[in-house]
Amino acid sequence: MAIEIRKTNCHYCGYLCAFDATVEDGSVTELTPDPTRYPYDASTSKRCRRWKLNLSKLYDEDVRVNYPMRRVGERGSGKFERVSWDTALDEISAKLKQLVDEYGPWTLASAIGGPHAVYWPLHRFMNLLGSPNNMGIGPICWNPRIWMDTMTYGWSIEVNFDPSLTGCLILWGTNPAESDNSLFWRTISQYVKGGGNLIVVDTRLSVTAAHATVWLHPYPGTDTVLAYALARVIIDNGWIDEEFVRDWCSGFEEFSAAAHERSLEEASEITHIAVDDIVEAARLFATNPPAGLLSGRGVDQIGPNTAPLHRVLASLRAITGNVDVPGACRLNTAPSFLSELELEGSDRLSGESRAHGLNEPDCGLQSWAGWERACKLTGKLDRYLPARYLTSALPVRVWKAAVTDEPYRISAIICDGANPLVTYADTKLVLEAFKRMDLVVVLEYLMSPTAQMADYVLPAAGAIERPAFQAMGGVEDFCYGGPRAVEPPFERKEDYEILRALALRMGQSEEDWPAKDLTEELARTIAPTGMSWENFKISGIAGGSPQFYKHLITNPETGEPQGFATTSGKIELGNSFLESLGAGYVPGWFPVPGVHDDSVLEEEGCVTLITGARKQPYWASSYFEVPSFRKAHPKPTVEMSAATAARLGLEEGDACLISRKDTPDIEILQYVTISDIVDGVASAEYGWWYPEEEKGLPGLSGCFTSNVNLLTRGTVDMTPEPLIGTWIYNGIPCRIRRKD
């Protein structure tokens, strides 16, 4: 028997832990964490329940989609037949050509999800075809941070948390104890055990918050008020870094005035946080340099308050002198490997196609025009943001175009690593859009509710059967990953190969798709660093060595420090560029009706709903089919305080029905859990569907039972927030009643 140890990476969440695979006669029989490659944590394989799926799902014949499947009967019948790859790809490309001839290339939409696969192959396909309509979750995940850090500092940052240096760490709207139970969280929990200062800003007492030195619990979406209150305390106590503010920040006076608009008592009333806690957190953060501040998903999803908050957070780092400083944060540099921008081929999308983008012209940044404007600033330091993710079409506009044919017809969609019927806002609208399309193609591992609405489901290769690669969204000079352990079993293919095959059938050239598979594509990607794929397989990591204080580097032409890639060359606490796009010169706070007024507590049965708090062992809409996971966490839960439960007449464990105040007839089923969370707020799980239930319409395997996105809406109010178009997942006026 031939036994070999091969390097590979788990990809059952976005962290890509390094493993050694034991391969016996071509089959993987064992996995052990690989201490020689990043990211390695000795205890991950003990704490993480998911990595064993690498073995159980690899050869799975029941749940996995293993062959190209074509719909039988009406769309949504839930019935499929196996066809050959050639048949599937020939039919898809013929239909797509017909639709493009009839309606123009923008008739094709695409959808991506979380960090599952590399998405640039799909984006290249869309660019070369000529469609701007790729949807992403960007406006509510990651983009707000990237956009606002870039607008404030000239480029994005990475928190440089170093337990031996960092004097204080703020985690704002992020719960790595459950969302990232790998290396990062373990480093933080050890830091806290060793006496490190941790401030957690979370509406709930999350597992992370339970470890905090100070826990600040803002009412959902009031974070901007809290951030300004912290700034006020820091300024009033003389805790700012005066020299740095004088030399490297612009707009301080206006920023300070905005911070002083409200007294601490007023801020306390709005946020539901005691003044003493605000003062103590400000002191810990400002007087223990270097200090890091990392924000997360919780505050990427607060609608009109998202972009303003991230500007104030960026300013908090700046006024305390914590920008591009070891132990605080590092201003990223552009990749030394092929950038996402080059790989996705955005320069090939014509002006006419860009003008068909549904975010034009009112998204000041998250649009093609916005991206072009931003590049003029950042280009000063030769930095160009990746385009596709940061211009991604607002899904609500794409779905509405599919339903109404306005402003033009969206007739086809490709979903890659996404389950929009469960994870995108407004499930009913998404369903209507899918029903009206002429062509639906889904690249998947399993028959998700979205796959059940497809005409063709194409079997995607998963972890350890394809190489893994994480390039930090293309904004950093750092990437990691590794090779596959084995070829994909059955007839599964890598997403890259599927899209390339479709591209060639659509008439795109081999020159535009020079690599025949993902391994070749990744070798090509890292080649500019001078590293071969063979060496990358061993080290698992590529990129430049980190540098700090880069604004001080001398510009050879002027002999002056190069500064920051912003309008003023300084960090912009007040931002005239954003002002020219309709945002405030300094950010404001925008109360949301029905959430930030008294109606929540005054009207019977009402709460403010937040959604999607991450819990182990699930990931978004994934792994609900795994029996041991369902045993460990059998029911979707909605958390609320004991006082809120009493007001609603509910008790621990009660089945309850949750509805939006404006659509009382749409109700979802979840189960009450009493926890430590701000009164008047309830936190519902997301991602739930029931794979064991019947496939096909009307139920789509329980897609309409507990799915919280039946209650969310993707619509955005561009008046207060004319930059990104972030919709609300956290802060929805709802009613909850006991299920009789």
Q: Name the amino acid, one letter, at 576.
A: S
Which of 122, 141, 441, 648 lies at the binding interface for Mo ion (CB under 5 A)? 141
Pairing of β 69-71 and β 249-250: unpaired
Does residue 725 interact with ligand MGD by CB under 6 A? no
Does residue 298 interact with ligand MGD by CB under 6 A? yes
Edge-first strand listing for the sheet containing 291-295:
214-216, 197-201, 168-172, 291-295
Backbone phi and psi for residue 48, each to the nearest 5 degrees, phi listed first: -85, 130
Does residue 443 interact with ligand MGD by CB under 6 A? yes
10 binds, among ligand MGD, Mo ion, ligand SF4, none (CB under 5 to 8 A by kind): ligand SF4
Which of 460, 531, 573, 626 lies at the binding interface for ligand MGD (CB under 6 A)? 460
Work out whether the CA dihedral 335, 336, 340, 341 comes out positive or negative: positive
- Shortest CB 355 distance to ligand MGD, Å: 28
Stretch that binds ligand SF4, among 13-21, 188-196, 433-441, 516-524 (CB under 6 A): 13-21
- Shortest CB 19 distance to ligand SF4, Å: 7
Which of 21, 28, 37, 50 lies at the binding interface for ligand SF4 (CB under 6 A)? 50
Distance CA 581, CA 488 (A): 48
- Shortest CB 413 distance to ligand MGD, Å: 13
- Shortest CB 624 distance to ligand MGD, Å: 9
Which of 58, 96, 137, 259 lies at the binding interface for ligand MGD (CB under 6 A)? 137
Distance CA 169, CA 281 (A): 10
Which of 6, 93, 114, 236 lies at the binding interface for Mo ion (CB under 5 A)? 114
Does residue 16 interact with ligand SF4 by CB under 6 A? yes
Which of 335, 462, 488, 733 lies at the binding interface for ligand MGD (CB under 6 A)? 462
Distance CA 483, CA 462 (A): 12
Does residue 114 interact with ligand MGD by CB under 6 A? yes
Stretch that binds ligand SF4, among 46-54, 306-314, 387-395, 532-540 (CB under 6 A): 46-54
Contacts 24+ apart (CB under 8 A), 187-194: 187/161, 187/163, 188/161, 190/163, 191/161, 191/163, 191/166, 194/163
User: Between residues 48 and 498, which has the closer beta carbon with respect to ligand SF4?
Assistant: 48
Does residue 450 interact with ligand SF4 by CB under 6 A? no
SS3 content of the chain, % helix, strand, coil (to 5): 35, 20, 45
Distance CA 160, CA 331 (A): 10
CA neighbours within 13 Å on the CB side: how many for 724?
31
- Shortest CB 403 distance to ligand MGD, Å: 20
CB 136 within 8 A of CB 114: no
User: Between residues 146 and 531, which has the closer beta carbon with respect to ligand MGD?
Assistant: 146
Window 165-184: residues binding ligand SF4 (CB under 6 A):
182
Stretch that binds ligand MGD, among 79-87, 173-181, 330-338, 513-521 (CB under 6 A): 173-181
Does residue 438 interact with ligand MGD by CB under 6 A? no
Window 153-172: residues binding ligand MGD (CB under 6 A):
172
Residues 6+ apart with CB under 8 A from 444: 65, 415, 450, 451, 457, 458, 459, 460
Selection from 22, 327, 27, 278 nearest residue 168 by Cα: 327
Does residue 466 interact with ligand SF4 by CB under 6 A? no
CB 624 within 8 A of CB 703: no
Binding residues for ligand SF4 (CB under 6 A): 10, 12-13, 15-17, 44, 48, 50-51, 182
Binding residues for Mo ion (CB under 5 A): 114, 141
